[in-house]
Chains A and B, each alone.
Chain A
C-alpha cells in the first residue's frame, strides 16, 4: 500500500483556494498510484483563523466541496483537515477520512492547545473521542496535532486496535539551535518513534509548511514502521508530496517478537483510571 503525505501551505481563510490546492495534490498522488493521501491539520482553511472560524466552518455531509472530495475518494482514500460545524454554532477542529465516495470517520480534536502562542480553546469546541475504524488501509485511528502529544490518546488508538495511526498537524517550529532543525521537530519525531515502536503499528504524521502571522510551520512529516524505524521524512521547510510504500504484514511480524498488543490489559487500565478519578473527586 502506498501512502502519500501532502506537506502543503494552506491559504489562510480561503476555502476555495485550498480546495483547488487539494485537487492538485489528489491528482499528483493518483499519478503516483498512492492508495491513501493525507493532508495536514485545517488543510482546507489554514490554521490561525481566530474569529474567521465561523466563516470557514462547514458540514461535510452537506457541503458541495466535500461532495466533490468524496467523489474523488473512490480510487484513493483521503484525510482532510477542516473546521466542522457539527451542532449549530459549535465549531470543531476536525479530520475526515474519505474513502469509496463516503466519509468513514470524522475525528474532532480533543486536546486544544490554549497556552503561550496557542489559543484554540477560545475558538473551538472540544472533541470527545478517539476511535479506531476499519478502512481499506487497515484499522485506522486519527489524531490532530496536540492530541498526539498525549500518550493516553495514543493508548486509546492502540487499545482500539489501530494498525495505522494518522496524525495531522499544523505545528509551528520553536527553538532554533546549532542543528539544522527546530527543537520541536525532535519532539514530534521522538513521539513518532516511541508510539510506533510501543504500539507496534504504523505512525504517519503529516505537518504543514509556510507562515501565518509570523508562525513558521515546520514540516518534517514522517512515517515510522511498527518497529519504531523511520521510513520516510519530508523537509522542515519545503512543500512536498512524500510517498512511502508500507506493508501491513509488518505489524504481524513485529507482534510475534514484541507482543505488547497481545499482553495489553485495557480493563485493568480502565479500573485503575476510575479509581484515580474517584480519588480526585473526593
Chain B
C-alpha cells in the first residue's frame, strides 16, 4: 500500500494538466473543506495549473465547522489559489423549512447536493473544470452523496486509498494540522467516517486492497488476520453502492443504445 510520493505527484499533475487542455479549460475549480482530500487535490491542481488558475469554493453551512473553514481559507492563501466562501445555509434552510426532516443523512445529502449545484454554477461562470475529491476508499464503500460530492469533471484522487492519500499529503507538504484531522464527511458536527462505518481507515484500506487490488478470496483475507464481520460489512457496502459508480441502466430496445453498444471514448477527438 506504500506509494512513491514524487511518482504519484507527477502522474496526477500530468493528468490534471492534460485533461484540462483536452477539454479546453485553463482553470480548475474545487470545493475546499479544510480536510485532507480536498487539500491534496488543491495542491496538485495548483502545481499542475499554476495557483492563479485554481479556484476553491469554501461552502460551509452557517457557522458549523468554522474551524475547518478557517483552515481551508488559510490553506488557499498558503497555496496562492483563489478562494470564495459561499454559505449554503439560506438555500438549505429555505428548503427544509418547507419540507422538514429529522434525518441527519437527508440533511447531509441535501447539503452535499447544494454544494455540487454551486460548484457547477461557478464552473460555468468561471469556465473552470470541476476537480473531484472522492478517494478510492469512499468510492468503493459508496461513502459519498450521489450527484453530490461524487459529482465532478475529472477525479484525480479516485484511485488512491485514504491511507495512500495521507502518504501523498505528507509528501506534498499539506500542513500537519490538516493531515492529522479525523476524517469526516462533514454531514453533521461530531460525525466521523470511522465511527459511522465502524472500522478504522487503516483496517478498511487493508481489506479493500486485498479484496479489490489483489482479488484475494474471502477465506484468505480472514486467514490473514481480519474479522469475518468486518469483511462482510465492507463487501456489503461495496455491493450496495454500485449504483453510485455507474450511469443508470437504460432498457435496451433499439439497435444501438447509449450505455450498451454506443461505445465511444470519453476523450473522443481530444
A contact residues vs B (CB 8 Å cutoff): 9, 11-14, 48-52, 173, 175-181, 210-214, 216, 236-237
Contacts A176-B7, A181-B7 given; does A213 touch B2 at CB 8 Å? no
Complex contacts, A173 vs chain B, CB 8 Å: 11
When C-beta atoms are compared, the residue in chain B nearest to A119 turns out to be B263
Residue-wise interface mask of B (253-270) relative to A, using a CB-CB cutoff of 8 A (1 in contact, 0 not): 000000000111111111
Contact indicator A213/B4 (Cβ below 8 Å): no
Answer whether residue B199 sits at the interface, using C-beta atoms and an 8 A cutoff.
no
Answer whether residue B8 sits at the interface, using C-beta atoms and an 8 A cutoff.
yes
Query: 9 shortest A-B CB distances, which residue pairs?
Result: A50-B263, A178-B2, A48-B265, A213-B266, A180-B7, A51-B263, A13-B269, A180-B4, A12-B267
Contact indicator A213/B18 (Cβ below 8 Å): no
Complex contacts, A180 vs chain B, CB 8 Å: 4, 6-7
Contacts A176-B4, A180-B7 given; does A52 touch B18 at CB 8 Å? no
Complex contacts, A177 vs chain B, CB 8 Å: 2-4
Which of B10, B11, B164, B265 interacts with A212 by CB under 8 Å? B265
Please provide the chain B residues from 117 to 167 with a CB less than 8 Å away from any CB of chain A in the complex. 164
Tell me how far the C-beta of B171 lies from the nearest C-beta in chain A, rounded to whole angstroms. 12
Complex contacts, B263 vs chain A, CB 8 Å: 50-51
Please provide the chain B residues from 9 to 35 with a CB less than 8 Å away from any CB of chain A in the complex. 10-11, 14-15, 18-19
Tell me how far the C-beta of A196 lies from the nearest C-beta in chain B, rounded to whole angstroms. 26
Complex contacts, B3 vs chain A, CB 8 Å: 176-178
Tell me how far the C-beta of A177 lies from the nearest C-beta in chain B, rounded to whole angstroms. 7
B contact residues vs A (CB 8 Å cutoff): 2-4, 6-8, 10-11, 14-15, 18-19, 164, 213, 262-270
Complex contacts, B4 vs chain A, CB 8 Å: 176-180
When C-beta atoms are compared, the residue in chain A nearest to B16 turns out to be A211
When C-beta atoms are compared, the residue in chain B nearest to A50 turns out to be B263
A211 to B4, CA, bound (A): 20
Q: Which of A175, A179, A180, A214 has the most CB of B within 10 A?
A: A214
When C-beta atoms are compared, the residue in chain B nearest to A182 turns out to be B7
Tell me how far the C-beta of B170 lies from the nearest C-beta in chain A, rounded to whole angstroms. 14
Contact indicator B2/A50 (Cβ below 8 Å): no
A12 to B266, CA, bound (A): 10
A210 to B18, CA, bound (A): 8
Tell me how far the C-beta of B23 lies from the nearest C-beta in chain A, rounded to whole angstroms. 12
Q: List 12 A-B pairs, Cβ < 8 Å.
A: A12-B267, A14-B269, A51-B263, A176-B3, A177-B2, A178-B2, A180-B6, A181-B7, A211-B18, A211-B267, A237-B10, A237-B11
